[in-house]
Amino acid sequence: MKNNSLENTNSQRNILITGGAGYIGSNIVAKLCHEGYNCVIVDNFSNSYPQTIEKLVNAYPTNIKVYKQDILDSAGMERIMEQEAIDVIIHMAGKKYVGESFDKTDEYYSHNVVATRNLLHSMEKLGINKFVFSSSITVYGDCGKEYVDETTPLHPLSPYAMQKMECEEEIACWRERSHGCAIVLRLSNPVGADTQYMLGDNSKNKGQQGVVPFMINRVLSGEPLFINGCDHPTKDGTTVRDYVHVQDVATAFTLATKYVIEESDFMHIFNCGSSKPGYSVKDIICEISNVLDKKVEYSVGPRRAGDVSIFLSDISAISSTLHFAPTRNLHEMVQTHYEFHTHLLEPLMPPKDDITIKDNITI
């Protein structure tokens, strides 16, 4: 049942989502629209397609505006912020591939750190003081712990993770200067899709996909899977990680948005995952076999150097402050990714990105 008074309040709030056409950003936009917020998507479509958000935009024609805009262009960003009377910025745009960040460190630094710094300066200039940021569990890096909470010291191991840490520091300085409100969410491993609006992981860079999409693709193309080590001290000998459904992540961002709207002059950093007990590599293989209804072949090799057996995030802080409680399990993560990948997305995704989304797109 709709809560009309809540929708009326939210309809007066204009939320700008950088990277709003991307995997997580588009799911956040869907959740925010469902709750009655006005959403302004800013994306340069460097790692996404306008078509991905077409169905969502059509479902909420009065709630969503889409701007094709690079966030590094501060003048362009400020024009949009002023024109759309933005109340909150959810910052999702950036480059996200850990491996690639070693090869393209300068480009990553520019799109991740410089862009975030510029955005914060523009907000300060225009008096916008509510900010939500997507950081990453990779900031903990080589911390020597299996179960990390927000007090765990950070030991980032890649340029990407170091850049996320630097962004967090930039946000802390901004918050002190502006007396604004900021929430940083350190995401674990988002998986799955919204199958109502067909919002899944459709990154242009297919070579750098997450573990679940990678495994499903291999199985669908008839290639065998390979497990790095079956002798870890875990329930089945394979490594255990923290996976969270992308729609649960979108819920966390929506709760964070409500919180920054209501509060003032603070900054919180929260882990955002699904916590214990996590899922093992064999759990994922078993679930893929279940969803695809086929036997999945795999071979086992030695452990990779540096692979930790268990790495999970403690989500008690976000649970107690934002009342975040992920509800979707591994089956829903694999099932929805599979539906998105095979039945829903592919026939609708021609290999081009110059489509116009009705009148909502401003270029």
Ligand X SMILES: NC(=O)c1ccc[n+]([C@@H]2O[C@H](COP(=O)([O-])OP(=O)(O)OC[C@H]3O[C@@H](n4cnc5c(N)ncnc54)[C@H](O)[C@@H]3O)[C@@H](O)[C@H]2O)c1
Rule CB under 6 A: choose which of 92, 161, 182, 334 binds ligand X: 92
206's CB contacts (< 8 A; 6+ apart) are: none
Best CA proximity match to 126, nearest among 166, 176, 169, 178: 178
* Min dist. Cβ of residue 54 to ligand X (A): 14
State yes or no: residue 192 binds ligand X (CB under 6 A).
no
Rule CB under 6 A: choose which of 190, 192, 200, 326 binds ligand X: 190
Rule CB under 6 A: choose which of 34, 55, 59, 70 binds ligand X: 70
Rule CB under 6 A: choose which of 24, 89, 113, 256 binds ligand X: 24
Question: Of 45 and 60, which has the nearer Cβ to ligand X?
Answer: 45
Rule CB under 6 A: choose which of 29, 38, 43, 287 binds ligand X: 43
State yes or no: residue 165 binds ligand X (CB under 6 A).
no
41's CB contacts (< 8 A; 6+ apart) are: 17, 20, 21, 25, 29, 53, 64, 65, 66, 67
* Min dist. Cβ of residue 293 to ligand X (A): 27
37 annotated active-site? no
Name the segment binding ligand X (CB under 6 A); options: 40-48, 118-126, 289-297, 300-308. 40-48
* Min dist. Cβ of residue 222 to ligand X (A): 26
322's CB contacts (< 8 A; 6+ apart) are: 252, 255, 256, 259, 270
**Distance, first Cα to last Cα, the chain:** 37
Rule CB under 6 A: choose which of 13, 16, 17, 25 binds ligand X: 25
Helix (H, G, I), strand (E, B) or coil at 70: coil
> What is the distance between the alpha carbons of residues 20 and 48, in angstroms, rounded to a whole number?
9
Span 109-148, contacts to ligand X by CB under 6 A? 111, 115, 134, 136
> What is the distance between the alpha carbons of residues 233 and 279, in angstroms, rounded to a whole number?
14
DSSP 43-67: E--SSS-GGGGHHHHHHSTTTEEEE
Rule CB under 6 A: choose which of 15, 31, 39, 45 binds ligand X: 45
E strand or H helix at 7, and its extent? helix 4-10
Tell me if 299 sits within 8 A of 227, measured CB to CB. yes
> What is the distance between the alpha carbons of residues 237 and 230, in angstroms, rounded to a whole number?
4
Rule CB under 6 A: choose which of 38, 44, 51, 195 binds ligand X: 44
E strand or H helix at 240, and its extent? strand 240-241
Binding residues for ligand X, rule CB under 6 A, total 28
**Which residue's CB comes closest to ligand X?**
22
State yes or no: residue 154 binds ligand X (CB under 6 A).
no
Binding mask 228-267 for ligand X (x = CB under 6 A): ----------------------------------------
Q: Choose the catalytic residue: 160, 197, 259, 338.
A: 160
Span 204-223, contacts to ligand X by CB under 6 A? 210
Tell me if 245 sits within 8 A of 326, measured CB to CB. yes
Question: Which residues of this protein are in contact with ligand X, per CB under 6 A?
Answer: 19, 21-25, 43-48, 70-72, 92-94, 96, 111, 115, 134, 136, 187, 189-190, 203, 210
- Which residues belong to the active site? 160
